[in-house]
């Protein structure tokens, strides 16, 4: 195939060098696009980037905040990656996160006098269950009727966010909260322990543990293999006797549960209450993270850490007048470059030669 002066030759196997090069180069290209945007809008890109990165990764406080922000990104990224493995497009991470936070808050507010060793496990399971139910709702019509899960998972995000708004503006509003849309503050037993004097909470352990477990499940178990086969070639999977509808339900429940856990960790570890807008779109950023990490659970941890830093950097430069949404733009463009760059995994680029300079490599099409 040819594009302009470049000839593309199909590779026999995806290039391992490109698998590392493409994401790295993509991040730099996205930063370049961001720099051009900053320049156009009359700002100096280099000092802004320097400020973002030196503060997010170079100071003790910044680094701990980066880790704090990476926790929900990591969990939600792992969650959506489970579904993406089977080519189920769970875009509902955000809603599952909200429902996890809702369910965990319900436990925290219902049993305020319980000790942490009872309350925290309960909230953990409630968070998982809330997310799992929200993942299952679209999974059932997808499994048995083939209803497009992209749209249904996405619609449920709006429903979940409105549900939480209804609660915090209405029945769950803290009577002593000066009419702010917040629930009452959690009691001590409902709060996840933190590391030292930082804000880094036990949610980090949830994320790291789940990443390792998922890596083992995906790479070392029969079920992990089955999930990938169903995703890559449902026909072959059906022929091999794999139960596709059941797997859709299980995968979406697991995916939703992990996203729900992200919500639980956020309210129990960081916010200590439920409030609207506690997630600046973690469930959507998670999609980019999962894709950037090529759905590899261990890579998701790393990418989530980088994106956490980006988020923190965004907040920091906001004080200098750069909108924090700058970061969302950067994240979107990273994904563009990754997608475009993926062709380099599958194809080798050659400058087209003139006919008399020797035959080009094999496999050149018309």
Partner 1 sequence: MSYDFLVAVLATAVVAGTPILYAALGELICERSGILNLGVEGMMLVGAVTGFIAALSTGNPWAGVLAALIAGGAMASIHAVLTVSLKANQVVSGLALTLFGTGLSAYIGKAYIGMPLANPFRPFEIPVLSEIPFLGPILFRNDPLVYLTFLLVPLAWFLLFRTKAGLNMRAVGENPAAADSLGVNVFATRYMYIIIGGMLAGVGGAYLSLAYVPAWMENMVAGRGWIAVALVIFATWNPVNALLGAYIFGGIHALGFRLQTLDVNVSPYFLKMLPYLFTIAVLIFVTRKNNRSRIGAPKALGQAYDREER
Binding-site ranges for partner 1 (CB under 8 A): 1, 3, 10, 37, 41, 89, 91, 138, 141, 145-148, 150-152, 154-156, 158-159, 162-163, 165-166, 169-170, 281, 284-285, 287-288, 291, 323, 325-333, 335-336, 339-340, 342-343, 363, 365-366
Shorter beta-carbon distance to partner 1: residue 123 or 289: 289
CA distances from 319 to 13, 47, 61 (A): 48, 14, 17
Encoding tokens for residue 192? 């996840």
Shorter beta-carbon distance to partner 1: residue 44 or 240: 44
**Residue holding tokens 């950097």?**
313
Burial of 188 (0-12, 13-18, 19+ CB in 10 A): exposed
CB of 99 to partner 1, least distance (A): 14
262 close to 100: Cβ distance less than 8 angstroms: yes
CB of 108 to partner 1, least distance (A): 22
Shorter beta-carbon distance to partner 1: residue 138 or 263: 138
Distance of alpha carbon 2 from alpha carbon 350, whole angstroms: 9
273 close to 186: Cβ distance less than 8 angstroms: yes
φ, ψ of residue 183 in degrees (nearest 5): -80, 170
φ, ψ of residue 274 in degrees (nearest 5): -100, 135
Shorter beta-carbon distance to partner 1: residue 121 or 352: 352
102 close to 263: Cβ distance less than 8 angstroms: yes
CB of 124 to partner 1, least distance (A): 27
CB of 332 to partner 1, least distance (A): 3
- Which of 72, 64, 70 is closest to 197 using CA atoms? 64
Shorter beta-carbon distance to partner 1: residue 67 or 167: 167
CB of 184 to partner 1, least distance (A): 20
Shorter beta-carbon distance to partner 1: residue 47 or 141: 141
CB of 89 to partner 1, least distance (A): 6
């Amino acid at each position: 195939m040819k594009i302009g002066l470049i000839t593309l030759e199909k590779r026999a196997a995806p290039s391992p060098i490109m698998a590392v090069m493409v994401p790295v180069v993509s991040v730099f290209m996205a930063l370049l696009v961001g720099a051009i945007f900053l320049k156009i809008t009359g700002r100096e890109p280099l000092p802004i980037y320097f400020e973002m990165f030196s503060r997010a990764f170079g100071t003790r406080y910044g680094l701990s905040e980066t880790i704090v922000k990476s926790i929900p990104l990591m969990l939600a990224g792992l969650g959506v990656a489970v579904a993406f493995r089977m080519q189920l497009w769970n875009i509902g991470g955000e809603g599952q996160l909200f429902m996890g936070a809702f369910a965990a808050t319900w436990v925290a507010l219902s049993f305020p006098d319980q000790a942490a060793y009872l309350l925290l496990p309960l909230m953990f399971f409630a968070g998982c269950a809330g997310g799992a139910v929200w993942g299952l709702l679209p999974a059932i019509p997808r499994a048995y009727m083939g209803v497009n899960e992209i749209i249904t998972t996405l619609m449920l995000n709006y429903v979940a966010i409105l549900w939480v708004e209804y609660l915090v503006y209405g029945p769950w509003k803290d009577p002593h909260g000066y009419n702010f849309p917040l629930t009452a503050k959690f009691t001590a037993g409902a709060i996840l322990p933190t590391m030292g004097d930082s804000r880094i909470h036990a949610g980090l352990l949830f994320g790291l543990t789940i990443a390792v477990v998922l890596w083992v499940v995906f790479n070392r178990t029969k079920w992990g293999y089955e999930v990938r086969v169903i995703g890559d070639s449902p026909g072959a999977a059906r022929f091999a006797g794999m139960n596709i509808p059941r797997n859709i339900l299980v995968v979406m429940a697991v995916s939703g549960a992990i996203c729900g856990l992200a919500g639980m960790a956020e309210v129990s570890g960081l916010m200590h209450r439920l409030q609207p807008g506690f997630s600046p779109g973690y469930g959507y950023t998670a999609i980019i993270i999962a894709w950037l990490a090529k759905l590899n659970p261990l890579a998701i941890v790393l990418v989530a850490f980088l994106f956490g830093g980006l988020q923190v950097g965004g907040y920091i430069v906001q004080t200098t007048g750069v909108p924090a949404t700058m970061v969302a733009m950067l994240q979107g463009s990273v994904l563009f470059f990754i997608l475009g760059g993926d062709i380099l995994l599958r194809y080798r680029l050659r400058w087209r030669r003139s006919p008399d300079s020797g035959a080009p490599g094999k496999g050149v099409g018309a």
